[in-house]
Amino acid sequence: MKRILLVGGVGCGKTTLLQRLHGADLAYAKTETIYTDGHVVDTPGEYLELPWFKHALRLASFEVDLVVLLASATVADARFQPGFTTFFMPPSIGVVTKTDLAGPTAIATAGSHLRLAGATEIYEVSAVTGEGIPALAERLA
């Protein structure tokens, strides 16, 4: 599996996706700091949302092959600045999360936020139902 960095707003589903990708039980645990679990580097949403933490995301990206930007289908507004992927050295992909909680329009909106951020490949997943997980797992293999 590629080494990946998960980046997204607070509560967008980064840790839950990590658990799903690892075949672990889904259990809520607030991420307090950057940590590595296997090939996955998980980050707190605050590191994206609070400007003085952002440099830590860039430093963490030097350790990975791929940056995964996540946007929840339940959040209407964008959490990424346009062109945000240029902040990172490795390539980036986008993942729309929580597709089980939203309709097609909301899922498309979240995907458009990821495209505006610079992601050219978008995956739509639900960590809870498992929808879309096989395609993403294949991309990360």
Query: Which spans of this chain sit near ligand GTP (rule: CB under 6 A)?
Result: 8, 10-16, 28, 30-31, 44-45, 97-98, 100-101, 126-128
Site map 25..64 versus Mg ion, x via CB under 5 A? ------x---------------------------------
How many other CB atoms sit within 10 Å of the CB of residue 104? 10
Q: Check residue 9 and report its DSSP letter.
A: S
Q: State the nearest-atom distance from the C-beta of 28 to ligand GTP, in Å.
A: 5
What SS3 class is residue 38? coil
Q: Which lies closer to ligand GTP via its Cβ, residue 31 or residue 85?
A: 31
Q: Minimum distance between the CB of residue 68 and ligand GTP, rounded to whole angstroms?
A: 11
Computed on alpha carbons and rounded to an integer, the radius of gyration of the chain in Å comes to 13
| Cα 125 from Cα 123, distance rounded (Å) | 6
Within 10 angstroms of residue 53's Cβ, the number of other Cβ atoms is 15
- Segment 3-32, which members bind Mg ion (CB under 5 A)? 14-15, 31
β-strand 35-37 against 4-8: which pairing, if any? unpaired
Q: Tell me which residues touch Mg ion (CB under 5 A).
A: 14-15, 31
